[in-house]
Structure 1
């Protein structure tokens, strides 16, 4: 099979005839919905706009992963904090040792430093929710793009 880009409104059924068999094998009810299946590329848009839509979805994914990563790191920080409060070394709790305090403080500062830009980026993205391509004033879309 030749390599082709699926990004520009191609009819995937013509490009990859095995796709129907794969769908029928993995999704037995597919045959009852087969007539309703549009061309995959026509769903989001065409040409430059489709790339813009894909990049928007990618941005949402990156924002979600960044904030989720900070949440996981915060959970790890809280678990370490609880553990060093319970553990003792040389008669004192671990949390009272200066190197442990320094490391925990540095970790908390890195968490705060990562959370602020993550939420700032999410807020800016949310503010641009109603924007449509072209995003910047003064830019124009190619004549080949439908409006």
Structure 2
């Protein structure tokens, strides 16, 4: 699920990163020693310092992933999954996922993960069930 909120400056993650960086920022302790004392790779500490200097404490919050909450595989693949989900008798989610993975590889597409396939299949089946229950019988004419 996509999160539209900004970084939480008061989060525990930001506080932990600030605690790691504080000796360097206040006392001038070399970054290599700060990283070693915290057991964090120097590259990560350098990245945190750069983000802190650019954006202040807000820069220490983990940035949101741009693809979060979005499907990143082709629409055709989604339609294929949905079509297979609506077959009679309905194949299992595992069967559909195995078939889709093979087809995606042959087409040169990035394959769906099992949870994403399951979510797509469940949505298609729920849509079919709700469409079936919401249809009203045609009105009969009285002649």
- TM-score category, normalised to shorter length: under 0.3
Higher relative contact order by CA 8 Å / sep ≥ 6: 1 or 2?
1
Query: Scaled by the length of structure 2, what TM-score is found?
Result: 0.27
Query: Scaled by the length of structure 1, what TM-score is found?
Result: 0.26
